Amino acid sequence: MVDTLHQLKLLARVLVTMLLLSLCSLAARAEPPSLYDRLGGLAPISVVVSDFIDALVPDAVLNSNPAIDAARTAVPPAYLKYHVTAMMCQVTGGPCQYHGRDMRQAHAHLNIQEVEWQRMMEVFKEILAKHQVPQQEVNELLAIMDSTKSDIVVASP
Ligand code: HEM
């Protein structure tokens, strides 16, 4: 009798454990990995952002806009790298918090036109290709960039 009770308790414990394990695997399946995780986290994101800023700062198309040219000489690239990395980390689902200005405020004085936006996007795609970011993640990053466009590009009159 004591033996049977003991076996029943053991069986119940095994069943509860199996139930918990299957619930955990269900929960894991329900939450697909964030874009942040799929990009490999903060280290690769910061490297891509750093390369991106290094390519943008001396760019002739962007610097033919005098307001952009003036800002890139006044604003340290390291500061831009810090803010853009924090923002990318946050919006892709990472643990960072962006504390910079909103996109409209940060770019209002730069008079950014469509041609400059297109050039920036071209450079961005080149940097993503250089780092062999997979197409799905490229598409998601491009969509994030696109979502900021109306705050950054000056509307045509
Ligand atoms: C053609 C497109 C763009 C150009 C030429 C550009 C250029 C600049 C420049 C020159 C600054 C420094 C402004 C200043 O402090 O005087 C700046 C700030 C910043 N930009 Fe952009 N930007 C562009 C698009 C973007 C995009 C698409 C993002 C992110 C999705 C972005 C994120 C930021 C951030 C986070 C800052 C710092 C904000 C702060 O100082 O609080 N920029 N940008």
Condensed to tens digits (0 to 9), the pLDDT of residues 89-137 reads 999 999 999 999 999 999 999 999 999 999 999 999 999 999 999 999 9
> Which tens digits make up the pLDDT trace of 15-69?
777 767 776 676 667 789 999 999 999 999 999 999 999 999 999 999 999 999 9
The pTM (predicted TM-score) of the whole model is 0.85
Q: Which residues line ligand 1 (CB under 6 A)?
A: 62, 68, 71-72, 75, 80, 83-84, 87, 100-101, 106-107, 110, 112, 116-117, 120, 145, 148, 152
The superfamily (CATH) of domain 34-152 is Globins (1.10.490.10)
* Spacing, Cα 65 to ligand 1 middle (Å): 14
What amino acid occupies position 112?
I
pLDDT of residue 6: 76
Distances (CA, A) of 7 to 12, 18, 61: 9, 16, 77
Q: Which two structure tokens, joined as six digits, stand for 15?
A: 């069943």
Sorted by where each begins, the domain ranges of the chain are: 1-31, 34-152
Looking at residue 141, its pLDDT comes to 98
